[in-house]
Structure 1
Amino acid sequence: MKTGIDEAELDKRLATLETVRAWSPRVMSKLESFLRTADDRELYRINPLAFGTERGIAEAEAIDLFLHASSLGLFEMDWLLVCPLCACIVESFGSLRTLEKHYRCALCRTDYEAVLDDYITITFTVCANVRRIRFHDPDALPARDYCFQCRVTLDGVTPDGKPWMDHFAAATPEVRFIQPHAVERIEIDVGEGTLLGWDFDADDGFEFTVAEDAPPAPRPLSVGYDDRSCEPATGRIAPGRIVLEIRNASARRRLFGLTVTSPGFSHPDILFRPFLTGKRLLTTQTFRTLFRSELIRASEGIGVKDITLLFTDLKSSTALYDRIGDLSAFSLVQQHFDRLRDVTVANGGTVIKTIGDAVMAAFLNPRDAVAAAVAMLDEMERFNRDHVDRPLILKIGLHKGASIAVTSNDQLDYFGQAVNIAARVQGLAQAEEIYLTRDVHDYPGVGELLEPFVVERRTAHLKGVNLEMPVFRVAGGGSLTPAARLR
């Protein structure tokens, strides 16, 4: 038995997880093996996309696996703000509700605005009551382990595909904690280049140029930190053995690092392995179902650079209520919601909300959204075969663009011009029609989906948003007739 595993808790939670949905063959056994045999670092801040790739599990199923497992207490979910320049983890939040819109990387001294598309990564760590690992108590870790295992993401790589963390660590011969009001003495041999002293959690630090024509460094070279600054912050010293005396005059423990770079050093571009972004998570129906309490508390919301929005509505639904009565019509409408939700999920999207008889759904990209729209009309055609005396006639509109994720009526929602345009475009549609904006129509792969059908280009003035723009009408439902496309 692996040390630290609570067998009863693990067995109980795995047994429940197995029942929550139909998993692909061996998915559960792969997860159990991982929980039992992986080392502590592998069980800390797991990238679910990498986990799935390495084990032959489809990406969507891997995300679902970790979401369900988290809801059952096998893992804890962590929201991380990552610096795109140095791949360090600037902030870690246990919940979306505590995520900040603005953040600053003290190492790079750069400010960022958090957006759900980029550099917000969601990871998962095994729960301590299932299997205890040393990363459950990060303050007890050695300084070097804490620095490179907890404060730098493994997903950052250099252009040659090697982990950026390895390069960073190799150039950083000294990492240590300096207690409040304490002094640390460091001796180090340095050649020509730059000697950098830094602290992940503060903007203060020093940068000394090491050059043959510079004067020898004092022995010791004393550097003092207080709550707001470092003195001296710059200087020139000759190569050789340096004796540093680092004084921490502040009331907090510092994580102090010393990095040495060679002359002419140029910081490499850092690439990132695919990771679970905030946008991807918020367009996953499983997340919205299992974590309804996850709300955005940032007063301004959090930006999304690009999201595809789909609106549906029912034609003449008021007449349907009048004709068959409220109870019967309400039952039909609820059944239609269930069908549209299933189609949305099957095509990689999520239902954001229902408004009366209408549905608002979100997708990562237009191709998935258009595939869902076509499938919705097909699904409603099948539905109406069983309700020939009271059919539900669907209308659909799609648009893509920037938006803001907000909390509205205690649920995650989207707000902004892209939402307004998508809703107005849906309003153009008549019975069994799909309307697309140009941004959706021109997206790679959409043309292939629509190739068998008549597509008519029009110009529309969208009321309420004061825009005149090209739109594309796709005749749908029973009239979804194969034909040469009209442009």
Structure 2
Amino acid sequence: MADASALWDLLQQTAEPSAAEALKSAVASAPDRALNRVNPLVFAAAAGLDEEAVIGAFVRAARIGLFDMAWNVLCPGCGGVLETAGALKSINRHEYFCSFCVSANEPTLDQLVEVTFTVNPRIRRVAAHEPDSLSLAEYMRQVFWGSGADLPEDIESAVGRVTLDQMELGPGERASMSLTLPKGVFIAFDPVTHATMFLDASGDETQERRTLSLIFAESHAHSGTVALAPGPVRIAFENKAGRRTLPGLWVHGDELNALSEARLPFLTATRLLSNQTFRDLYRDGTFDPEQRFKITSLTILFTDLRGSTALYDRVGDLAAFDLVRSHFGELIAAVATEGGAVVKTIGDAVMATFPTADRALRAAMRMRDAMRRINAGRGGEDLALNIGLHEGPCLAVMLDDRQDYFGQTVNIAARVQDLADPTAVLATKPVMDSAEVERLLGEQGYRTTSRLLNLRGVSEAFQIYEIRERAAA
């Protein structure tokens, strides 16, 4: 396809070349299911590529139409996709109900919203573009479970071991399954509509045939739990859903739990929102101004140039402007290299976010190195950078047509930077409690000291750590 060739050329020019080539190769030769709801972290590991490069390549590929990006709300219990949307703004409910686990879940961006990529049908059609053609096992793998589900290769056998019976119903069809129910807990379940009814078979076995019924119409409907004795049972299903359904009787037990609970790392919405490539390409329209998404943990970095007013007075407006512009370029590069994103600049200050604390600390040290290089090139100490880090919960919001973050965590990070000086990076205890940060401190030989300090506008005192690089031998 000529148009596709031009798009691949564009991706090769804008994304990291090895990552772009890996995507192109996958589209050319990978099996269908490998191109549906692609997990970029798993893709990167399999290809031996850097995660950030692969994420950036998928984001660019989605922007130019090679792949379609989806935001999926996950159930933390079974790993099922409760809703999928082409944009974060379409995820607009406070709770999403999982009938399989009988639980309501708030869509926190760093835990329960994943981002996946499916090849665009104009580039290559795959089976998942027509989900009604998939078998039950493949539907579970490619549609029901999210990209973080660690599923066995032989999914047909795995699903077969945890189902007593299953069938396929077209729109408007009725059918029933008759079987002898052993002791145990079973779930009459359709993964298309997420409709469920639980059967608790206990006590003495009976020879009396019982009849139960389940209608598939309203999505995610849970019909409660029916207690009955083991023995003959007939379950009647009626499909009013307007599309094919796949009702079956699932065995609730250790094997189903093991199948549902095995997890792989996946690309969270928080990580993508903190990705510089995504922020550059999707500057607005990510979600609506009225939406407020919770993030349970985000690392926030603030910087500010010390004495910038005096700098303008000392070297003149033109030289100072060039220095400040160089400083911004280096800070943005340091943030992007460590998988973070610049949220905004405020005067000479920068606010950036990172999915993990160690990435933020690495970026901070890159920034310090960059300032030293610029100063060495000028033969002076014109650029002095204050840096503060804090980690905690916050809200993702839209402010002034820009995706931003709000909450006490943001306030504390800014106050920590207020206390900083160019001799050390300041960080709070939540940052230092990270196992990855502890490992980084040990590997790089950073020296730390701590003090209990009061932050302006914050009632409680905070343990603040000064992080300094190892002194030269």
* Common topology (TM > 0.5): yes
Q: Secondary structure at the match of 1:436?
A: strand
Counterpart residue number, 1:20: 14
Partners of 1:338 and 1:230 lie apart in 2 by 54
Query: Structure 1 pair 342/262, CA: closer, same or farther in 2 (3 Å)?
Result: closer
1:108 aligns with 2:98: no
Mark the runs of 5 or more structure 1 residues left unpaired by the alignment: 1-6
Deviates more, 1:105-114 or 1:442-451: 442-451
Query: For residues 291-350 of structure 1, what are the alpha-carbon distances to aligned partners after superposition, in whole Å with 9 as ceiling and x for unaligned?
Result: 223523373522222221111101121233345554543333222110111112223322
TM-score (norm 1): 0.84
Matches within 5 A, 1:70-149: 70-100=62-92, 101-139=94-132, 141=134, 145-149=138-142
Query: Structure 1 pair 18/300, CA: closer, same or farther in 2 (3 Å)?
Result: closer
1:245 aligns with 2:236: yes
Q: In the alignment, is the contact (CA less than 8 A) between 2:391 and 2:430 conserved in 1?
A: yes
Mark the runs of 5 or more structure 2 residues left unpaired by the alignment: none
Counterpart residue number, 2:247: 257
Q: How many residues align?
A: 464
Q: In the alignment, is the contact (CA less than 8 A) between 2:12 and 2:21 conserved in 1?
A: no
RMSD over aligned CA atoms reads 3.2
Partners of 2:385 and 2:20 lie apart in 1 by 39
Query: Structure 1 pair 157/385, CA: closer, same or farther in 2 (3 Å)?
Result: closer
Partners of 2:457 and 2:43 lie apart in 1 by 46
Query: For residues 49-87 of structure 1, what are the alpha-carbon distances to aligned partners after superposition, in whole Å with 9 as ceiling and x for unaligned?
Result: 212222222222222221222222111111111222222
Counterpart residue number, 1:370: 361
* Larger gyration radius, structure 1 or structure 2: 1
Query: Structure 1 pair 119/165, CA: closer, same or farther in 2 (3 Å)?
Result: farther
Partners of 2:224 and 2:354 lie apart in 1 by 52
More helix by share: 2
Counterpart residue number, 1:4: none
1:223 aligns with 2:217: no
Residue identity opposite 1:69 in structure 2: A
Partners of 1:251 and 1:273 lie apart in 2 by 32
Q: In the alignment, is the contact (CA less than 8 A) between 1:366 and 1:440 conserved in 2?
A: yes
Shift of 1:283: 2.2
Q: In the alignment, is the contact (CA less than 8 A) between 2:386 and 2:420 conserved in 1?
A: yes
Query: Structure 1 pair 463/330, CA: closer, same or farther in 2 (3 Å)?
Result: same
Query: For residues 221-276 of structure 1, what are the alpha-carbon distances to aligned partners after superposition, in whole Å with 9 as ceiling and x for unaligned?
Result: 25153867788962425435x5433245x565573522242889883471211211
Partners of 1:132 and 1:251 lie apart in 2 by 25
Query: Structure 1 pair 41/226, CA: closer, same or farther in 2 (3 Å)?
Result: closer
Shift of 1:466: 1.9
Shift of 1:12: 1.4
Residue identity opposite 2:215 in structure 1: Y
Partners of 1:473 and 1:232 lie apart in 2 by 55
Partners of 1:105 and 1:307 lie apart in 2 by 26
Counterpart residue number, 2:25: 33
Q: Secondary structure at the match of 1:267?
A: helix
Shift of 1:446: 4.3
Q: Secondary structure at the match of 1:41?
A: helix
Query: For residues 135-180 of structure 1, what are the alpha-carbon distances to aligned partners after superposition, in whole Å with 9 as ceiling and x for unaligned?
Result: 223345566654553122353247xx77888634532331423534
Partners of 1:35 and 1:341 lie apart in 2 by 32
Partners of 2:252 and 2:450 lie apart in 1 by 59
Residue identity opposite 1:11 in structure 2: S
Partners of 1:406 and 1:152 lie apart in 2 by 28
Query: For residues 393-419 of structure 1, what are the alpha-carbon distances to aligned partners after superposition, in whole Å with 9 as ceiling and x for unaligned?
Result: 211111111222222222222211111
Counterpart residue number, 2:2: 8
Partners of 1:428 and 1:125 lie apart in 2 by 46
Query: Structure 1 pair 338/267, CA: closer, same or farther in 2 (3 Å)?
Result: same
1:416 aligns with 2:410: no
Shift of 1:35: 0.9
Q: In the alignment, is the contact (CA less than 8 A) between 2:121 and 2:129 conserved in 1?
A: yes
Query: Structure 1 pair 409/152, CA: closer, same or farther in 2 (3 Å)?
Result: same
Query: Structure 1 pair 300/22, CA: closer, same or farther in 2 (3 Å)?
Result: closer
Shift of 1:448: 2.0
Shift of 1:45: 0.9
Query: Structure 1 pair 76/401, CA: closer, same or farther in 2 (3 Å)?
Result: same
Q: In the alignment, is the contact (CA less than 8 A) between 1:217 and 1:238 conserved in 2?
A: no
Q: Secondary structure at the match of 1:255?
A: coil
Q: Secondary structure at the match of 2:245?
A: strand
Query: Structure 1 pair 260/32, CA: closer, same or farther in 2 (3 Å)?
Result: closer
Matches within 5 A, 1:40-439: 40-100=32-92, 101-139=94-132, 141=134, 145-153=138-146, 155-157=148-150, 167-172=158-163, 173-177=165-169, 179-180=171-172, 182-188=173-179, 190-200=181-191, 201=193, 205-207=197-199, 209=201, 213-218=205-210, 221-225=211-215, 234-240=226-232, 242-248=233-239, 250=240, 252-253=242-243, 255-261=245-251, 267-268=257-258, 270-297=261-288, 299-388=290-379, 391-439=382-430
Residue identity opposite 2:352 in structure 1: A
Q: In the alignment, is the contact (CA less than 8 A) between 2:303 and 2:385 conserved in 1?
A: yes
Q: Secondary structure at the match of 2:247?
A: strand
Q: Secondary structure at the match of 2:17?
A: coil
Residue identity opposite 1:472 in structure 2: Y
Query: Structure 1 pair 10/261, CA: closer, same or farther in 2 (3 Å)?
Result: same
Counterpart residue number, 1:3: none
Shift of 1:386: 3.2
Q: In the alignment, is the contact (CA less than 8 A) between 1:216 and 1:238 conserved in 2?
A: no
Q: In the alignment, is the contact (CA less than 8 A) between 1:211 and 1:238 conserved in 2?
A: yes
TM-score (norm 2): 0.87
Query: For residues 384-440 of structure 1, what are the alpha-carbon distances to aligned partners after superposition, in whole Å with 9 as ceiling and x for unaligned?
Result: 233447812211111111222222222222211111111001001134432222222
